């Protein structure tokens, strides 16, 4: 498809398990972002990738969270030893240029529920 | 820390009326502002943006107003339609010219726009 694709759309896991969330950005977009959206809340920045530069990890809430972007395209967000407070919708976005252009194209998100 | 906030969590308007969604920001260093629309079960979609050297910008049925004196941003939707029902987020971009990585979008909590027939 032409948009940002995320998988899985829904993930239910048990506390303590690891989860991986995948994002396939729009082809040609150099910038990729992960955000977290808790119920009824705004978007919380997690991590930003731009080309081959070192990612901006300043938004990751703990060392249980990590993300990779392989080949400048697909990204995986990994949450280790999940906790109930990790339950949220994880949104991925991409943009053609860097982070100051503003127009981000979002995927539909991966809803994570930790029991 | 400084952040973007919304005045109202829910706004209810009659179909056909104009809607005004407000947003306050506190960081005077913000130089770029964006409105996003998020429909239920979907990711946010870009609506309109405005840079700090402007006071007003118009799109199709939408207008964004920026008042830097009181650090206030608003989104006006003309002739509101059922398809406008969504959560609207304002976001600010704090440009870090040093390249230290502090720049990037900060989103507010959102306003849920409800359209009454």
Nearest to B38 by CA among B95, B106, B111, B115: B111
Give the residue among A16, A114, A18 at the shortest CA–CA distance from A66. Answer: A18
Q: Which residues of A touch B1 (CB under 8 A)?
A: none
Among candidates A50, A33, A51, A45, which has minimal Cα distance to A107? Answer: A33
What pairing do the DSSP bridges indicate for beta strands B4-6 and A65-69?
Answer: unpaired
The separation between the first and the last C-alpha atoms of chain A, rounded to the nearest angstrom, is: 32
pLDDT tens readout for residues A44-97: 999 999 988 889 999 999 999 999 998 879 999 999 999 999 999 999 999 887
> What is the number of other CB atoms lying within 10 angstroms of the CB of residue A27?
8
Q: Do residues A79 and A69 make contact, with C-beta atoms less than 8 angstroms apart?
A: no
> 3-class SS at B13?
strand
Give the tens place of pLDDT for each residue, B1-38: 334 554 458 999 999 999 999 999 878 888 889 999 99
Using CB atoms, pick whichever of A41, A100, A108 lies closest to residue B32.
A100
Task: Tell me how far apart the alpha carbons of residues B70 and B77 are, in angstroms, rounded to a whole number.
Answer: 22
What are the Cα distances from residue A34, in Å, to A5, A83, A105, A106? 13, 19, 11, 9
Q: Which residues of B touch A58 (CB under 8 A)?
A: 101-102
Closest CB to A109: pick one of B32, B43, B109: B43
Q: Are strands A10-13 and A43-50 parallel, antiparallel or unpaired?
A: unpaired
Per-residue model confidence (pLDDT) at position B2? 35
Identify whether the C-beta of residue B56 lies closer than 8 Å to the C-beta of residue B68.
no
Contact across the interface for B44 and A91, Cβ inside 8 Å: yes
Q: Under 8 Å CB-to-CB from B1, ≥6 apart: which residues?
A: none
φ and ψ at residue B98, rounded to 5 degrees: -75, -10
pLDDT per residue as tens digits for the range A11-54 = 999 999 999 999 999 998 989 999 999 887 788 999 999 988 88
Label residue A28 left, alpha or beta by phi (over 0 means left) and psi (-120 to 50 means alpha). Answer: left
Q: Centre a 10 Å sphere on the Cβ of residue A66 and count the other Cβ atoms it contains.
A: 13
Q: Which of A2, A60, A102 to mutate to test the interface with B (most CBs of B within 10 A)?
A: A102
Q: Region B41-50: what's the mean pLDDT?
A: 93
Of A42, A58, A102, the CB nearest to B34: A102
**pLDDT (0 to 100) of residue A98:** 72
Q: Smallest Cα–Cα separation from A103: which of B88, B86, B44? A: B44
At residue B102, the pLDDT reads 41
Residue A46 in contact with residue A59, Cβ under 8 Å?
yes
User: Judged by CB atoms within 8 Å, which residues 24-83 of B form the interface with A?
Assistant: 32, 34, 41-46, 49
Q: Give percent of chain B with pLDDT exceeding 90.
A: 66
Q: Is B68 helix (H, G, I), strand (E, B) or coil?
A: coil
Assess whether pLDDT exceeds 90 at residue B93: no
């Amino acid at each position: 498809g032409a948009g940002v694709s995320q998988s899985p759309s829904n993930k239910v896991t048990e506390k303590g398990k690891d989860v991986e969330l995948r994002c396939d950005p729009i082809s040609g977009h150099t910038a990729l972002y992960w955000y977290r959206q808790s119920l009824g809340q705004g978007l919380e920045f997690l991590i930003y990738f731009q080309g081959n530069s070192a990612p901006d990890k300043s938004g990751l809430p703990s060392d249980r969270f990590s993300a990779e972007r392989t080949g400048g395209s697909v990204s995986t967000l990994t949450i280790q030893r999940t906790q109930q407070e990790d339950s949220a919708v994880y949104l991925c976005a991409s943009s053609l240029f860097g982070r100051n252009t503003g127009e981000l194209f979002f995927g539909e998100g991966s809803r994570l529920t930790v029991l | 820390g400084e952040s973007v906030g919304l005045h109202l969590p829910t706004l209810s308007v009659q179909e056909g009326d104009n809607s005004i969604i407000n947003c306050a920001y506190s960081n005077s260093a913000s130089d770029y502002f964006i409105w996003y629309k998020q429909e239920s079960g979907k990711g946010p979609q870009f609506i309109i943006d405005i840079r700090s050297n402007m006071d007003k910008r118009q799109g199709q049925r939408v207008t964004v107003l920026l008042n830097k004196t009181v650090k206030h941003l608003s989104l006006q939707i003309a002739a509101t339609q059922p398809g406008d029902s969504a959560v609207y987020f304002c976001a600010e971009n704090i440009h870090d010219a040093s390249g230290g990585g502090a720049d990037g979008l900060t989103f507010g909590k959102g306003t849920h726009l409800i359209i009454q027939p």
